[in-house]
Amino acid sequence: MLGKHTQVDCVIKERGENDYRVMLEVHGSEWLRVRAMWLLEEKLNAYAAFVLDGQMQSLYPASNRENTVIVIASVDPIPETVKPVLEHAVIAFERHGLRLTWNPEGGMAPQGTPPPEGFEGTSDGTPSK
| Predicted confidence (pLDDT) per residue in 37-46, tens digit | 999 999 999 9
Q: Categorize the per-residue pLDDT at 93 as very low, low, confident or very high, splitting at 50, 70 and 90.
A: very high
Q: What is the pLDDT of residue 2?
A: 77
Chain mean pLDDT for the chain: 85
Cα(12)–Cα(59) distance, integer angstroms = 12
Cα(95)–Cα(120) distance, integer angstroms = 37
Q: Which has more confidence, 125 or 45? A: 45
Q: Categorize the per-residue pLDDT at 3 as very low, low, confident or very high, splitting at 50, 70 and 90.
A: confident
Q: How many CA atoms lie within 13 A of 50 on its CB side?
A: 25
Whether the per-residue pLDDT at 127 is higher than 70: the answer is no
Whether the per-residue pLDDT at 126 is higher than 70: the answer is no
Phi, psi for 88 (deg, rounded to 5): -65, -40
